[in-house]
Amino acid sequence: MFIRLENVYYTYNLHMPFETKALKNINLDIKKGEFIGLIGHTGCGKTTLIQHFNGLLTPTSGKVYVEEMDISKKGIDLKLIRQKVGLVFQYPENQIFEETIFQEIAFGPKKLGLPKDEIEKRVREALKMVDLDYNLYAERSPFTLSGGEMRRVALASILSIRPKMLILDEPTANLDPQGRNKILSEIKAIHDNFGITVVLVSHNMEKVAEMVDRLLVMNKGEIIMDGPPREIFAKRANDLLKVGLGLPQVTQCMYELKIRGKDLYTGVLNVNEAEKEILNNIKKLNSQLKKYERL
């Protein structure tokens, strides 16, 4: 088990007039190598939850374990935890401050006290992971980049620490479709090629559904659904709509056909699967008709 949360509660402004219960009794196991999507409305506790994964917040009550180490205890080496669990905040490009892209990405490894040649190796590796050419980009100022590129540099500056787990808070917010698809395919490749555990926080149900193995749905400080997206869409489409989170368009189409009495499988994740499901059902219908005619 890579991360385990046991009965975690978190309350902002405890015992104050503006007390808000942000997390209520969270129990969660994250295995090494999983690719998880975390979805929920603004204010549902997503960001509060992920800040528990690397000790930025400690639970009001309950336990958080990272690789079996209880990080809610006092005296824990949080620096070590943060090397293992890399957190990429919303709009990470706002945190860029160095003069060149090389220096920006080298900042983490430098703080780890690594030798010079190792630092360079890490920077090269990290730039490669986000598909930016070292020779073209290393000496450029990060502030001359486009929004999408800046975000990838910010991602590289976390990857250069070689975290075992990567948490991304809305990595595609404010990017155009091209920038969005680019960064998502890089995240997918980072997961697939390097075995890094990924938690992707997003509003974009369509993209998340296609990418992740496991979907966590939060509502009002609780995890209300946990499972493969296909299973959730097949069994709990109704509940998702009830909390107002919506379904991918093609999934919703299947769901509404089902409501109208059509016997369709609603666990479709993309256009391909929806097309197959519809064509299959037409074939089924046709063969039934033929049987009927023969009788």
Partner 1 sequence: MVSTLIKIENLYHIYNQYKKNQIVALDNINLEIKKGEFVSIIGSNGSGKSTLARHLNCLLLPTSGNVWVDGINTKDKDKVWEIRQKVGMVFQNPDNQIIATTVEDDVAFGLENIGISRTMMQERVNWALQVVEMEEYKKCEPHLLSGGQKQRVAIAGVIAMHSAFLVLDEPTAMLDPRGRKEVVDIVKKLNREENITVIYITHLMEEAVESDKIVVLDKGKIALMGRPEEVFSKAETLKNLSLDVPQITELAIRLNKKGLDVSPYTLKVEEMVDQLCLFV
Q: Name the site residues for partner 1 (rule: CB under 8 A).
A: 41-43, 146-148, 173-179, 203, 206, 244-246, 248-250, 252-253, 256-257, 260, 262, 264, 270-271, 274-275, 278-279, 281-282, 285
| Nearest-angstrom CA–CA distance, 137 and 241 | 44
Q: Which residue has the tokens 């205890």?
A: 73
Least distance in Å: CB of 263 to partner 1?
9
Least distance in Å: CB of 74 to partner 1?
34
Q: Which is nearer to partner 1, 95 or 249 (CB)?
A: 249
Q: Which is nearer to partner 1, 234 or 253 (CB)?
A: 253
| Nearest-angstrom CA–CA distance, 247 and 192 | 26
Least distance in Å: CB of 18 to partner 1?
11
Residue type for 125, please? Answer: E
Least distance in Å: CB of 181 to partner 1?
8
| Nearest-angstrom CA–CA distance, 50 and 270 | 27
Q: Which is nearer to partner 1, 215 or 250 (CB)?
A: 250
Least distance in Å: CB of 167 to partner 1?
18
Q: Which is nearer to partner 1, 43 or 195 (CB)?
A: 43
| Nearest-angstrom CA–CA distance, 189 and 185 | 6
- Residue 246 corresponds to which tokens in the numbers above? 């919506």
Q: 130 near 149, Cβ under 8 Å?
A: no
Under DSSP, is residue 241 helix (H, G, I), strand (E, B) or coil?
helix
Q: Which is nearer to partner 1, 13 or 42 (CB)?
A: 42
| Nearest-angstrom CA–CA distance, 157 and 103 | 9
